[in-house]
Amino acid sequence: MNAPFAPTRISPLFDEQAPHAAKWTQVETMQSVAAYGSADAARVPLAGIGDLSFRRRAGVKGPGAAAWLNALGIATPERPNSYLRLDDGTLVLRMGNTEFLVEDVAGGSRAATMLATAPSAGVYPVPRYDAALVITGRNAIELTRQTCAFDFASLSPSAQALVMTSMVGVGVTAIALDGADGTYFRLWCDGTYGGYLWATLVEVAADLGGGAVGLDALGRVAQQ
């Protein structure tokens, strides 16, 4: 592997990824794996496990959270357990009745705006230290069947449903998104469990022709 940078942010998956990484990059000041090897591109259409932890995110909860976000120009989903993808690619996740997670795309500033704005009455910031994963490929459903009791086939991108469930024993938030190459899944979990979740999913994905993929091979999925 090439020499690591001196990053100001480190992915929660770093310790698991470092022995396998072939090429590093720095996105949003987080050292991230650009490539694991020449097999990355072939893994993406089968069962690719990518790390999007570099994306900036912020959370709020409380009875005033939706109105506070709206005042910042961030639209919120109307239904509990659903999400919105804004025009600039920002994901707004509504988890339960009054809790929200906002995740920027690379270069976005909505999370920074939230963190810099004083919460009003009934708004409580939720620190986020998530490991953020993406599962791509036509075998992604099979991978979820082996690792989770929830049926991911029921997660339709058009319904914009969000599910909080348990995957290999780790509590995860999951959504399905439409990409240029088909549906893919996003997962968020507590960062301290991220390494275990990532390593386990990569091991299962390897049986399905996939495995870990770097940001270079993810291409637009990483940028959307």
Partner 1 sequence: MKLMTCPMNGTRPISEFAYWGEIRPAPDADTCTDEQWADYVFNRNGAPGVKKEWWCHTPSNTWFIAERDTEKDKVLRTYLHGEDK
For the bound state, the minimum distance from the C-beta of residue 80 to partner 1, rounded and expressed in Å, comes to 6
By CB under 8 A, tell whether 124 contacts partner 1: no
Report whether 8 contacts 29 (CB < 8 A): yes
For the bound state, the minimum distance from the C-beta of residue 188 to partner 1, rounded and expressed in Å, comes to 11
- How many residues touch partner 1 under the rule CB under 8 A: the total is 14
* Closer residue to partner 1, CB minimum distance, 151 or 178: 151
CA 115 – CA 82 distance, rounded (Å): 23
Is the Cα torsion angle 182, 186, 60, 54 positive or negative in sign?
negative
Show the DSSP H helices in the chain as ranges: 14-17, 40-47, 65-71, 110-116, 140-147, 191-207, 215-218, 220-223
Strands 211-212 and 57-61: unpaired
For the bound state, the minimum distance from the C-beta of residue 129 to partner 1, rounded and expressed in Å, comes to 16
For the bound state, the minimum distance from the C-beta of residue 199 to partner 1, rounded and expressed in Å, comes to 20
Site for partner 1 in 26-85 (CB under 8 A): 80-81
Residue with tokens 């509590």: 171
Please tell me the total number of residues recorded for the chain in this structure. 224
What is the per-residue binding string for partner 1 in 141-180, x denoting contact by CB under 8 A?
--------xx------------xxxx----xxx-------
Stretch that binds partner 1, among 28-36, 68-76, 91-99, 193-201 (CB under 8 A): 91-99
By CB under 8 A, tell whether 13 contacts partner 1: no
In DSSP notation, 158-197 reads: TTTBEEEEEETTEEEEEEEEEETTEEEEEEEEEHHHHHHH
By CB under 8 A, tell whether 201 contacts partner 1: no
Local structure of residue 153 (DSSP, 8 states): G
* Closer residue to partner 1, CB minimum distance, 39 or 161: 161
Q: Which residues bind partner 1 (CB under 8 A)?
A: 80-81, 95-97, 149-150, 163-166, 171-173
